[in-house]
């Protein structure tokens, strides 16, 4: 009887353990399902982005100084390339990069030995031709006297006249050859055509150079200009005499400039128009430096927003506007609003108190309402209808 009771007790204990294990497994499964349901619910609930003050900007009415952005390299208005006009061995070249030169200064010479000999030869030939002219002239004078006395015929006189004319032509040809030889001798001296500085020395003493070989490059830094290519729409706003403000690499302060010339034709490849700006004389300017800046083309009071908030990753430019959702939770949503840009410029007030390097470029528009709140470039791209929470006050200079 005792053994039977022990069997029943063991069976009951096993069943109890199994039931307890099944209950724990059920509870674990229920907890996991609850976690999955909670995660799914969180995925269905869109994340709310907390915008910081620097993440938003505000479209405001501003007095804008409209401008055309430009960039390009500086170059000397007057420059020269000295080339060898005759071939030969170069010597006497002592100037180097940075040296100052003056107009007419002899900067180098090409060995003149051969050209001196040629000039001497041409001179002797011219003298011989002059002697032949004298002989022909005396012959003609004698024959004229003989014709008048009837000793020779008129035909002999005509022959003497032709001989004189031939001798005179030979003499003129010899004089022309002498001029050429003397010109070649003079060309052995390489002279500076301008006042300026040596920008590049391309040959060395003892080097044999050919005709039109480049020897030196000279620039006159007393007058510098900038060449810039602008789109046709921007070129239509430019006229000679408009002022500009340029930032030149390496210079801490901006440089004043004005539009000096505008090309009458557009570039065949890019359809852009070249403009030339004359820079105010400033210490530190160099030929070849890169510069960028703005040409001021007028003023306009209108709604403006920072160019950095304009996005161009769609066919039409747009802004990410923060629109109120009308709910009680204080949330707003992002909307992509197409933008029509009427022009660009800088705030007139900022222009009067800030460095050009600190100026903000604004887009002038009539497609965005005044005081609209937009995301700045710092916020990055956001999908439409993304819920956001605005800061207490947008960070705006003004």
Task: For residue 161, give the CATH number of its domain.
Answer: 1.10.287
Q: Which two tokens stand for residue 176?
A: 């022309």
Lowest mean pLDDT among 63-77, 83-97, 358-372, 379-393: 379-393
Same-domain pairing of 282 and 312: no
The CATH number given to whatever domain includes residue 332 is: 2.40.420
Q: State the chain's mean pLDDT as an integer.
A: 84
How does residue 354 score in pLDDT terms, banded at 50, 70 and 90? low
Average pLDDT over residues 295-312: 88
Sign of CA dihedral 315, 300, 380, 40: negative
Report how far residue 210's alpha carbon sits from residue 215's, in angstroms, rounded to the nearest whole number: 10
Which residues sit opposite 191 in a β-bridge?
106
- In-domain check, residue 395: no
Q: Evaluate whether 90 touches 104 at the Cβ level (below 8 Å).
A: no
pLDDT computed for residue 396 by the predictor: 43
Report how far residue 262's alpha carbon sits from residue 228's, in angstroms, rounded to the nearest whole number: 10
Same-domain pairing of 278 and 311: no
Average pLDDT over residues 359-378: 86
Report how far residue 257's alpha carbon sits from residue 243's, in angstroms, rounded to the nearest whole number: 6
Report how far residue 257's alpha carbon sits from residue 245's, in angstroms, rounded to the nearest whole number: 6
pLDDT(330) > 70:
no
Same-domain pairing of 348 and 288: no
- In-domain check, residue 10: no
- In-domain check, residue 93: no
Same-domain pairing of 288 and 235: yes
Q: Evaluate whether 271 touches 232 at the Cβ level (below 8 Å).
A: yes
Lowest mean pLDDT among 24-33, 42-51, 191-200, 287-296: 42-51
pLDDT(219) > 80:
yes
Place of tokens 């109120």: 324
Same-domain pairing of 57 and 124: no
Contacts of 334 by beta carbon, 8 Å cutoff, 6+ apart: 320, 321, 322, 323, 375, 382, 383, 384, 385, 386, 388
Same-domain pairing of 126 and 148: yes
pLDDT computed for residue 73 by the predictor: 93
How does residue 38 score in pLDDT terms, banded at 50, 70 and 90? low
The CATH number given to whatever domain includes residue 269 is: 2.40.30.170
Per-residue pLDDT reduced to its tens digit, 164-197: 888 889 999 999 999 999 999 999 999 999 999 9
Same-domain pairing of 377 and 308: yes
Average pLDDT over residues 127-156: 79
Which residues sit opposite 70 in a β-bridge?
293
Same-domain pairing of 370 and 317: yes
- In-domain check, residue 237: yes
Same-domain pairing of 306 and 380: yes
pTM of the model: 0.61
Domain boundary residue, one of 143, 163, 187 = 187
15: enclosing H helix or E strand:
helix 2-44
Residue 274: count of CB within 10 angstroms of its CB: 17
- In-domain check, residue 84: no
Average pLDDT over residues 339-345: 84
Same-domain pairing of 271 and 347: no
How does residue 378 score in pLDDT terms, banded at 50, 70 and 90? confident
How does residue 395 score in pLDDT terms, banded at 50, 70 and 90? very low
Domain boundary residue, one of 187, 205, 236 = 187
Per-residue pLDDT reduced to its tens digit, 243-282: 888 889 888 888 889 999 999 999 888 889 999 999 988 8
Same-domain pairing of 289 and 325: no
- In-domain check, residue 77: no
Burial class (CB in 10 A: 0-12, 13-18, 19+), 393: exposed
Same-domain pairing of 355 and 306: yes
Domain boundary residue, one of 298, 320, 339 = 298
Burial class (CB in 10 A: 0-12, 13-18, 19+), 92: middle
Structural domain total, the chain: 3
- In-domain check, residue 285: yes
Query: Could you list the residue range(s) of the whole structural domain that residue 253 is in?
Result: 222-298
pLDDT(322) > 50:
yes
């Amino acid at each position: 009887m005792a053994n039977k009771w022990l069997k029943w007790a063991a069976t009951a204990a096993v069943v109890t353990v199994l039931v307890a294990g099944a209950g724990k497994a059920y509870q674990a499964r229920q907890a996991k399902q609850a976690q999955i349901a909670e995660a799914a619910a969180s995925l269905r609930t869109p994340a709310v982005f907390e915008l910081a003050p620097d993440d938003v900007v505000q479209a405001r009415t501003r007095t804008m100084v409209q401008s055309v952005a430009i960039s390009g390299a500086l170059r000397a208005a007057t420059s020269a390339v000295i080339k060898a006009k005759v071939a030969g061995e170069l010597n006497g070249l002592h100037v180097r990069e940075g040296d100052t030169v003056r107009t007419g200064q002899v900067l180098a010479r090409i060995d003149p030995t051969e050209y001196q000999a040629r000039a001497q030869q041409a001179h002797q030939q011219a003298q011989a031709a002059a002697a032949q002219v004298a002989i022909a002239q005396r012959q003609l004078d004698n024959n004229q006297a003989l014709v008048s006395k009837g000793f020779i015929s008129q035909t002999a006189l005509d022959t003497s006249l032709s001989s004189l004319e031939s001798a005179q032509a030979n003499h003129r040809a010899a004089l022309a050859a002498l001029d050429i030889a003397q010109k070649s001798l003079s060309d052995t001296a390489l002279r500076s055509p301008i006042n300026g500085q040596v920008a590049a020395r391309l040959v060395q003493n003892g080097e044999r150079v050919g005709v039109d070989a480049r020897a030196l490059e000279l620039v006159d830094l007393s007058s510098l200009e900038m060449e810039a290519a602008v789109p046709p729409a921007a070129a239509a706003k430019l006229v000679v005499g408009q002022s500009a403000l340029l930032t030149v690499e390496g210079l801490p302060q901006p440089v004043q400039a004005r539009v000096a010339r505008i090309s009458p034709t557009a570039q065949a490849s890019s359809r852009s128009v070249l403009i030339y700006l004359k820079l105010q004389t400033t210490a530190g300017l160099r030929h070849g430096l890169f510069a960028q800046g703005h040409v001021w083309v007028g003023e306009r009071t209108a709604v403006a927003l920072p160019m950095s908030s304009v996005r161009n990753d769609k066919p039409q430019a747009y802004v990410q506007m923060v629109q109120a959702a009308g709910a009680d939770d204080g949330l707003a949503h992002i909307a992509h609003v197409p933008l029509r840009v009427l022009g660009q410029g800088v705030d007139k007030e900022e222009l009067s108190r800030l460095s050009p390097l600190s100026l903000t470029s604004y887009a002038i528009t009539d497609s965005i309402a005044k005081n609209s709140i937009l995301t700045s470039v710092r916020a990055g791209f956001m999908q439409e209808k993304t819920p956001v929470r605005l800061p207490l006050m947008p960070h705006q200079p003004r």
